Amino acid sequence: MADCLFCRVVAGAQPAARVLEEEHCVAFLDTRPLFPGHVLLVPRDHHVTLADLPRELVEPLFTTAQRLCRAVQAAQDAPGAFVAMNNVVSQSVPHLHVHVVPRRPKDGLRGFFWPRRKYTGSEEMEEVAAAIRGALRP
Amino acid sequence: MADCLFCRVVAGAQPAARVLEEEHCVAFLDTRPLFPGHVLLVPRDHHVTLADLPRELVEPLFTTAQRLCRAVQAAQDAPGAFVAMNNVVSQSVPHLHVHVVPRRPKDGLRGFFWPRRKYTGSEEMEEVAAAIRGALRP
């Protein structure tokens, strides 16, 4: 896809600070990181969301995400890692990308990061769970 | 692990609004959701982080995450999904859990969600990328 930023990175037509080149995926630094060492891992082929990723690419992509967790933590001397994908909403580039971000205690993300709500009770929870069960496909 | 909350959920010793039972993983509602329909997907076996997950469980876990994305979006009439793992830092329960959260435009998460920084320049970026490349193991 000529107009896709991450397809251009994969093809080498868009400069990027690459950290890894694999058969099925490429990883490079996010230019506007949450923290230095924030990496984006993308499949070479153009797939928009996690749900769109063909089954045969799931293991290659996420075993690479595992390696990247260890590497960004080691390189940044960070005890933790945040791994995330925005699908459609808040997805700035419509080419699946796994954020792998080194995390440290008190790095400032914790407070605002999970603005949790509460269900009104077990009845509402059971309703919502039943709707998801009903929507699940094999 | 008797003292692990999610091992107890897997074993049925801790109540949970379950949405899916698979050979290798279980999914249930987060009791303090970002939005209703926020699901946690956990491996049945006790593994703490994504990096700890044995290779043979990577495809089962993430193909299930794909199904859950579609299901929570359909059940909650949401066009997007946020998929995330906190590893060690901000990880409230030390048993790997994949958050699958339905997302809608203007649902209030966007603004604070990605407090991006900037690298000072391509030199700093290249330094950081080199450190990660050096830390990568096969």
Residue A138 has pLDDT above 80, yes or no: no
As its CATH architecture, domain A5-136 has 2-Layer Sandwich (3.30)
Cβ of B24 under 8 Å from any chain A Cβ? no
| Site of tokens 């700035």 | A92
**Arithmetic mean of pLDDT, A3-21:** 95
**How does pLDDT run across A27-66, given as a tens digit for each residue?**
999 988 888 999 999 999 999 999 999 999 999 999 999 9
Q: Measure in Å the smallest separation between the Cα of B37 and chain A Cα atoms.
A: 6
Q: What is the pLDDT of residue A106?
A: 86
Cα–chain center distance at A124? 30
Does pTM surpass 0.95? no
What does the domain layout of chain A look like in residue ranges?
5-136
**Arithmetic mean of pLDDT, A10-19:** 94
What are the tokens at B134?
Answer: 């050096």
Cβ of A14 under 8 Å from any chain B Cβ? no
What are the tokens at B92?
Answer: 């409230």
Q: Mind telling me the catalytic residues of A? A: 97
What are the tokens at B127?
Answer: 């330094």
What is chain B's pLDDT, residue by residue, as a tens digit (138 residues)? 779 999 999 999 999 999 999 999 999 999 888 889 999 999 999 999 999 999 999 999 999 999 999 999 999 999 999 999 999 998 989 999 999 999 999 887 754 456 677 888 888 888 888 888 888 976
From B16, B15, B38, select the one nearest B101 (Cα to Cα).
B38
Cβ of B122 under 8 Å from any chain A Cβ? yes
What are the tokens at B49?
Answer: 């982080």
Phi, psi of B90 (to 5 degrees): 65, 10
Query: Across all residues in chain A, what is the average pLDDT?
Result: 91
Contacts of A41 in chain B (CB under 8 A): none
**Residue B42 near residue B62, CB atoms below 8 Å:** no
Query: Chain B neighbours among A 28-47 (CB < 8 Å)?
Result: 28-29, 31-37, 39
